[in-house]
Amino acid sequence: MSKENKRVSEAVIRRMPKYYRYLKEMKASGIKRISSRELSKKMGLTASQIRQDFNCFGGFGQQGYGYNVEELCDEIQKILGLHKEYNMIVIGAGNLGQALANYSGFEQEGFNIKALFDINPRLVGISIRGIPILDIDHIEGFLSQCEVHIAAICTPKKTAQEMVDRLIECGVKAIWNFAPIDVNAPDDVVVENVHLSDTLYTISLRMNEDYN
Amino acid sequence: MSKENKRVSEAVIRRMPKYYRYLKEMKASGIKRISSRELSKKMGLTASQIRQDFNCFGGFGQQGYGYNVEELCDEIQKILGLHKEYNMIVIGAGNLGQALANYSGFEQEGFNIKALFDINPRLVGISIRGIPILDIDHIEGFLSQCEVHIAAICTPKKTAQEMVDRLIECGVKAIWNFAPIDVNAPDDVVVENVHLSDTLYTISLRMNEDYN
């Protein structure tokens, strides 16, 4: 990461996947060019915000002509690291873990789920779309054989941090955590804590904005 | 919503559930008081940001003494609307829909899932923790009998917007959407589009921050 990139704010980083979604959709519908004004209208952002966001990554396109949709989409795909392939595992093969394994959208973007792990003997041995559910006790052996880039944590709260520690010990460098706590990791490990409840609570907040 | 509250930014709104999580945890561990400096350290924010965030809602506590954890927790719980009860339904009883129904954390905060709906005859008739899976064709009848505040959308992409339109037609005022598109709704309906892929892509972005 260059010093310049280190200044890209959290908020900008979080908007990049959204740009990608919209651009991919436009590309698929055959749209060739789009102005920042049109893009802003579609996405509910201001045109100046879009230009500022893109400038964080060196800026793209020519403003007079608007952006070339395909080129912009490809650039953002690269920024998101989606031009590469990643091996993933899912820890916890309950409903949420199985939902991740069942969703084909991830592998379309290069995220290949290699295995799920669980402690439940009724789940171990089953396959989800050809992806095996393995015994959690075999995780260290598995990681010594297969390079895993990202681990999704779909365990209950109480075992999440312990599992994260075990995975990091085995060299996993990115954690996608769905357990309802913020898990911690050393600075060289990427951690994304996804709190589904938080998104639900912003709904109830908005439904109650007359609280004063 | 008062004019003053309308100025509360999206970023502040998104931080409120996180404050709530941390304060609830501290309250449960018996912590009585916390300064904004200590809270900032725990949460990875600056003390001044915390004070600014709280000022958006009128400000709480006395700075010299720090915040009373229980009082602050209760205040934020009210801001989030978690002092009330909500009836919820889940559209789509696949793995993700079932994961939502299986998670007891939502009802602990007053979100009561009343039913799931699906088109799959093999799922219709089953119960998840006592919550019935009903035929999607019965949704209008159900909504005429039971006041539903929030609907979670766990359908495939292609049916999500159509389902949202049907639900809004029946008076549902809040949509928690997990389908991988941004669904639209009139201004008086609260919509929260949760894009799990987006959070995965911020991981791969961070793993590739040497892209330049």
Mutate to test the interface with A, among B54, B88, B196 (most CBs of A within 10 A): B196
Q: What is the mean pLDDT of residues B2-21?
A: 79
- What is the rounded distance in angstroms from the CA atom of residue A187 to the CA atom of residue A173? 10
Residue entry with tokens 């809602």: B57
Within an 8 Å CB–CB cutoff, is residue A16 touching chain B?
A: yes
Structure tokens at A93: 């093969």
Confidence class for position B7, pLDDT limits 50, 70, 90: low
Maximal CA-CA distance, chain B: 62
DSSP assignment of A106-173, as one string? HHHTTEEEEEEEES-TTTTT-EETTEEEEEGGGHHHHHHHS---EEEE-S-HHHHHHHHHHHHHTT--
Q: Looking at CA atoms only, how far is residue B134 from chain A in angstroms?
A: 19
Give B-chain residues touching A13 at CB under 8 angstroms. 202, 205-206
pTM score, whole prediction: 0.91
- What is the rounded distance in angstroms from the CA atom of residue B89 to the CA atom of residue A200? 13
Segment B40-71, tens digit of pLDDT: 999 989 999 998 999 888 878 765 678 999 99
Per-block average pLDDT, block size 10, for chain A (212 residues)?
59 94 95 92 91 87 79 95 97 96 94 98 96 98 97 96 98 97 95 96 91 42
Give A-chain residues touching B95 at CB under 8 angstroms. 95-96, 98-99, 102
The reply to whether residue B195 touches residue A18, judged by beta carbons under 8 angstroms, is yes
Segment B122-138, tens digit of pLDDT: 999 999 999 999 999 99
- Contact between B173 and A156 (Cβ < 8 Å): no
Give A-chain residues touching B20 at CB under 8 angstroms. 201
Within an 8 Å CB–CB cutoff, is residue B28 touching chain A?
A: no
- Contact between B8 and B57 (Cβ < 8 Å): yes
Segment B137-193, tens digit of pLDDT: 999 999 999 999 999 999 999 999 999 999 999 999 999 999 999 999 999 999 999
Q: Looking at CA atoms only, how far is residue B209 from chain A in angstroms?
A: 5
* pLDDT, position B4: 46
The DSSP letter of residue B126 is: -
Structure tokens at B103: 């998670």
Within an 8 Å CB–CB cutoff, is residue A199 touching chain B?
A: yes
Within an 8 Å CB–CB cutoff, is residue B129 touching chain A?
A: no
Indicate whether B211 pLDDT > 50: no
Name the 3-class secondary structure at B190.
strand
Q: Which of B21, B78, B192 lies closest to A203 in CB terms?
A: B192
Q: Looking at CA atoms only, how far is residue A74 from chain B in angstroms?
A: 13
Task: Find the residue in B nearest to A172 (Cα).
Answer: B207
- What is the rounded distance in angstroms from the CA atom of residue A80 to the CA atom of residue B208? 7
Between positions 38 and 77 of B, the ones with CB within 8 A of A are: 57-58
Report the C-alpha dihedral over residues A137, A138, A141, A147, rounded to 10 degrees: -110
Segment B95-120, tens digit of pLDDT: 999 999 999 899 999 999 999 999 99
- What is the rounded distance in angstroms from the CA atom of residue A18 to the CA atom of residue B195? 9
Residues listed for chain B: 212
Q: What is the ipTM of this complex?
A: 0.93
Q: Which of B105, B203, B210 lies closest to A1 in CB terms?
A: B210
Mutate to test the interface with B, among A103, A109, A116, A203 (most CBs of B within 10 A): A203
Taken in order of first residue, the domains within chain A and their CATH numbers are 3-79 (1.10.10.10), 86-198 (3.40.50.720)
* pLDDT, position B6: 55
* pLDDT, position A62: 61
The DSSP letter of residue B11 is: H
* Percentage of residues of chain B with pLDDT beyond 70: 94
The reply to whether residue B17 touches residue A81, judged by beta carbons under 8 angstroms, is no
* pLDDT, position A95: 94
The reply to whether residue B203 touches residue A176, judged by beta carbons under 8 angstroms, is yes
Within an 8 Å CB–CB cutoff, is residue A190 touching chain B?
A: yes
The reply to whether residue A199 touches residue B212, judged by beta carbons under 8 angstroms, is no
* pLDDT, position B3: 41
DSSP assignment of B33-81, as one string? EE-HHHHHHHHTS-HHHHHHHHHTTT--SBTTTBEEHHHHHHHHHHHTT
* pLDDT, position A27: 96
Indicate whether B5 pLDDT > 80: no
Q: Looking at CA atoms only, how far is residue A66 from chain B in angstroms?
A: 23
Residue entry with tokens 């991740």: A100
- What is the rounded distance in angstroms from the CA atom of residue B12 to the CA atom of residue B4? 14
Burial B83-110 (b: 16+ CB within 10 A, else e): eeebbbbbbbbbbbbbbbbebeebeebb
Query: First CA to last CA across chain A, in angstroms?
Result: 45
The reply to whether residue B99 touches residue A102, judged by beta carbons under 8 angstroms, is no
* pLDDT, position B212: 41
Q: Which of B17, B84, B174 lies closest to A198 in CB terms?
A: B17
Distance of CA A120 to the CA centre of its chain: 27
* pLDDT, position A212: 41
* pLDDT, position A59: 79
* pLDDT, position A96: 95
Cα angle at A95 between A93 and A98, to 5 degrees? 55
